């Protein structure tokens, strides 16, 4: 199982530089809110531990995961941000709707990463059932919101290093 191979839920604080001036947008889907709020909680806590000031974390809610790329584009174009984190949860149902939503969101976020120099982080769970989502939103597989925060920080640092 790929989840067992690598987890950013565990990170070394002493390896992370000061990011108190970083500004990060966090977009949270309201669909599957029990899960997405847990992802956001992990993300926000981790950003704080990584020295990002609370006032520099901009939380935006959207109705569902499908709206994440559009909101990310709006944030990128309207705010001076160092990164955008997209948090959502899509759970497999009985129809192909799951496939269409997951593909659209992943492709939308990927396109934003190619188009802009602001990192857009894919923090969207795509699970077979609610139990799997809970396991990845603070359960036995960690909290993917934490991993999204760490990924954002690492990409901010990469950008600062390469685009001085």
Tens of pLDDT, residue by residue, the chain (164 residues): 455 555 555 555 556 677 888 999 999 999 999 999 999 999 999 999 988 999 999 999 999 999 999 999 999 999 899 999 999 999 987 777 888 999 999 999 999 999 999 999 999 999 999 999 999 998 899 999 999 999 999 999 989 889 87
Question: Which of 9, 17, 10 minimizes the C-alpha distance to 160?
Answer: 17
- Sign for the CA dihedral angle at 89, 145, 104, 1 comes to negative
Domains and CATH numbers, the chain: 26-162 (3.40.50.960)
Give the pLDDT of residue 24.
97
Which amino acids are annotated catalytic?
Answer: 97
pTM confidence score: 0.90
Nearest to 10 by CA among 46, 37, 44: 46
């Amino acid at each position: 199982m790929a989840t067992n191979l690598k987890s950013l839920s565990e990170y070394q604080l002493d390896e992370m530089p000061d990011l108190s001036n970083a500004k990060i947008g966090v977009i949270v889907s309201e669909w599957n809110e029990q899960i997405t709020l847990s992802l956001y909680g992990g993300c926000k806590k981790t950003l704080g531990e990584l020295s990002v000031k609370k006032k520099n974390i901009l939380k935006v809610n959207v109705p569902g995961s499908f709206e994440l790329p559009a909101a990310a584009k709006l944030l990128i174009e309207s705010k001076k941000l160092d990164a955008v984190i997209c948090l959502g949860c899509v759970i497999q149902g009985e129809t192909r709707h799951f496939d269409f939503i997951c593909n659209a969101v992943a492709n939308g976020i990927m396109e934003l990463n190619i188009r802009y120099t602001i990192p857009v982080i894919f923090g969207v769970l795509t699970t077979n059932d609610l139990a799997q989502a809970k396991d990845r939103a603070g359960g036995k597989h960690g909290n993917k919101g934490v991993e999204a925060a760490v990924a954002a920080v690492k990409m901010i640092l990469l950008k600062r290093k390469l685009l001085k």
